[in-house]
Amino acid sequence: MGAKAKKALKKKLKKNSSQLSISRRTNGTFDFLPLEGGPGRRISEPEEPVNETATVLYIGHIPHGFYEEQMQGFFQQFGKIKRLRISRNRKTGKSKHYGFLEFENPEVAKVVADEMNNYLLFEHNLQLSLIPPERVHPKLWKGVNRRFKPVDWKAIARKRHNKERTVEEHQRMVKGILKRDEKRRKRIKAAGIDYECPDFVGDIQPAPKKIKFDEEED
């Protein structure tokens, strides 16, 4: 450090000390004075500790195979569990890899959130965090005790396919099949493949016969 730099540093420190004495005389005592200059500052006193009342935990990054039964058996070692829910897909019933857990004791919930956050389980780091009571959705636990039953889409498609159709519905269905078949034939021909596609059976339906009855004589 050169002579000029030392002289400038001494001048700056003397200026800061004079500002500190002035600010103490005008505004009272301060906890520290910024090195870059300016008025003194006061360190805010820590707030009083708030009593923990949150009992609901958010659990993210839930691995495959770690479902309601496994979570119940794992987390009940910390304390009594009140409710447990894993979010699932409505169509397939598969886990969305996040859920919610509620303990009866808020102290237990706080310990679990602190100790089990980023816990490595089946190559997944669990993400746990407390949810304040005012942020818990009123419908969060709707249907929590009801066993999830996925929709049998195969049975619905089978029933839809096998239902009885009217003549108009059958003709509309055949028309769509023939349209798709014509596109398929064009793609085969464009690819240079010499293939004679079989004709579609049932494309021609006999028209319903109308029977005319003679008028009865009085």
> Residue 29: its pLDDT value, please?
58
pLDDT confidence tier of residue 84, bands split at 50, 70 and 90: very high
> Residue 10: its pLDDT value, please?
66
Please give the average per-residue pLDDT across 75-97, as a whole number: 88
Please give the average per-residue pLDDT across 39-65, as a whole number: 72
CA atoms within a 13 Å half-sphere pointing along the CA-CB vector of 180: 5
**Does residue 114 register a pLDDT over 60?**
yes
pLDDT tens per residue across span 159-199: 988 888 888 888 888 889 889 988 988 998 899 888 887 77
> Residue 174: its pLDDT value, please?
86
**Does residue 50 register a pLDDT over 50?**
no
Please check whether residue 17 is in contact with residue 9, taking contact to mean a CB–CB distance below 8 angstroms.
Answer: no
Three-state SS annotation for 104-140 = CCHHHHHHHHHHCCCCEECCEECEEEEECHHHCCCCC
> Residue 39: its pLDDT value, please?
63
**Does residue 57 register a pLDDT over 90?**
yes
Q: Whole-model pTM?
A: 0.49
- Taking alpha carbons only, the member of 111, 51, 49 closest to residue 79 is 111
Which position has the higher pLDDT, 44 or 75?
Answer: 75
Q: Mind giving me the DSSP string for 19-77? A: HHHHHHHHH---SB--TT-SS-B-PPPPPPPPPP---EEEEESPPTT--HHHHHHHHTT
> Residue 53: its pLDDT value, please?
85
**Does residue 60 register a pLDDT over 90?**
yes
Residues recorded for the chain: 218
Please give the average per-residue pLDDT across 107-125, as a whole number: 89
Residues 6+ apart with CB under 8 A from 200: 174, 177, 178, 181
Please give the average per-residue pLDDT across 91-103, as a whole number: 88
**Does residue 46 register a pLDDT over 90?**
no
Number of other residues whose CB lies within 10 A of the CB of residue 99: 20
